[in-house]
Amino acid sequence: MIAPFRPSSNPLHQRTRASFDHSPMLCFYEVTRACDLVCQHCRACAQPKSDPGELTTAESKLLIDQLAQFPQPPMLILTGGDPLKRADLFELIRYSVESGLEVSITPSPTPLVTAEAIARLRDAGISRMAISIDGADAATHDANRGVSGSYEHSMRMLATAADLGVSTQINTTLTPANVDQIETMADQFAKVRTDMWSVFFLIPVGRAAESDRLNADQCEAAFERLYQQSLKQPYRIKTTEAMHYRRFIIQKHAAKRRREGKSDDETARPFMPAGINDGKGVMFVSHIGVIHPTGFLPVTCGVFPRQSVVDVYQNSPVFQKLRDASYLEGKCGCCEFNKICGGSRARAYGVTGNMFAEDPDCCYLPSSVRRSDDESQD
């Protein structure tokens, strides 16, 4: 059965699409680009050593102070690179939690992630730890990560975190190399007691610009398989940069309601994210303070600490346009799902250079397009 959605315990984190105009739901802070891995799809093009220009401890705390000033403070995700390469990581986590923020982290599966380190993360106050698993076996995963033994270490990290009472999320980048392993991965992930599987659909940015990604029809086929797994696995399944999975779920629900002879009212739908998209309910701050809509949409909207992250999110023309569906072009512009989906703005930008273009990896034809095609054939 579908695992129930458990909302944040903080009432300030309860979201509607309207709240995204003034507050992001998620803020990703790339605390460093230092990392010992060479993952093929790395957005950050991570490097062995820290950038001397990365935000200092004091600047990072100022960033946290500003995030806490949003009308609805976001959940803070500490990412990289490898966050554990920062000496002040645990200090920043504690400071964030004391400031009222919920904090998650995405450490790289390196020898730095020991049972002791996971216990320290728990004690510092993290809400969740996200670990990347990119295949059902070591051969598939390690080939992507560029380090032998990465798969076994990642699976041990997940099991250790569960033993220590730390909530985990598994991040998987779906590619032609592992798409046939969806069912096997889904069953394996249940054994490590994870709380969520986040399936990422590739954006051609960073090192991933040279990677193969699924085409639109393959994405749709993957959606069906992920949906079937969501009905049987004990954890939640969500997608990242596959906003059209929301449209797929709504269509599946509507079809089920029709088969049962029931009306398709809004409140009966399964849990659906509130239309989050690049720059809409989410923002990204780089290791040197550059503010982007997301890490996968590398359009500069401001630079912290010269500019306030609150002001940039609320008033940057790019952020404002990304939150307005009237700017969408092509199929996305006329799609009846464009407010809850809107297509991946990052993928549109990565493929076409236009962040408002239609999502090239969506095969859905909006009803208005279908009507137009039918009328032209009459």
Distances in whole angstroms, Cα of residue 290 to Cα of each of 66, 69, 307:
15, 19, 10
Q: Are 68 and 89 in contact (CB under 8 A)?
A: no
What's the predicted TM-score (pTM) here?
0.88
Model confidence band, residue 342 (pLDDT cutoffs 50, 70, 90): very high
Q: In terms of C-beta distances under 8 Å and separation of at least 24 residues, what long-range contacts does 295-298 make, across chains too? A: 295/28, 295/30, 295/43, 295/44, 295/79, 296/43, 296/203, 296/205, 296/241, 296/346, 296/347, 296/350, 297/205, 297/345, 297/346, 297/349, 297/355, 298/205
CA 253 to CA 14: how far, in whole Å? 24
177: which 2 tokens? 């190399």
- CATH code: domain 16-316 is 3.20.20.70
364: nearest Cα among 252, 232, 283 = 252
User: What are the structure tokens assigned to 103, written together?
Assistant: 């904090």
Report residue 299 as tokens: 């359009």
* 4-32 tens-digit pLDDT: 334 444 544 566 667 899 999 999 999 99
Domains of the chain, residue spans? 16-316
CB-CB contact of 363 with 216 (8 Å): yes
Point out which residues pair with 204 in neighbouring strands: none
CA distance 215 to 202: 10
Measure the CA–CA gap between 232 and 237, rounded to whole angstroms: 11
Query: CA 160, CA 271: separation in Å to the nearest integer?
Result: 29
Chain position carrying tokens 């086929």: 221
Q: Are 18 and 307 in contact (CB under 8 A)?
A: no
**DSSP readout, 166-199?**
--EEEEEEE-TTTGGGHHHHHHHHHHTT-SEEEE
pLDDT at 143: 84
* The predicted structure's pLDDT at residue 247: 94
Q: Please write the tens of the pLDDT for every residue from 45-73.
A: 556 677 889 999 999 999 999 999 999 99
CB half-sphere exposure, 51, CA atoms < 13 A: 20
Please answer whether residues 111 and 65 qualify as being in contact, where contact means their C-beta atoms are separated by less than 8 angstroms: no
Residue 145 in contact with residue 134, Cβ under 8 Å? Answer: yes
pLDDT, tens digit, for every residue of 57-116?
999 999 999 999 999 999 999 998 899 999 999 999 999 999 999 999 999 888 899 999
pLDDT at residue 81, as a whole number = 84
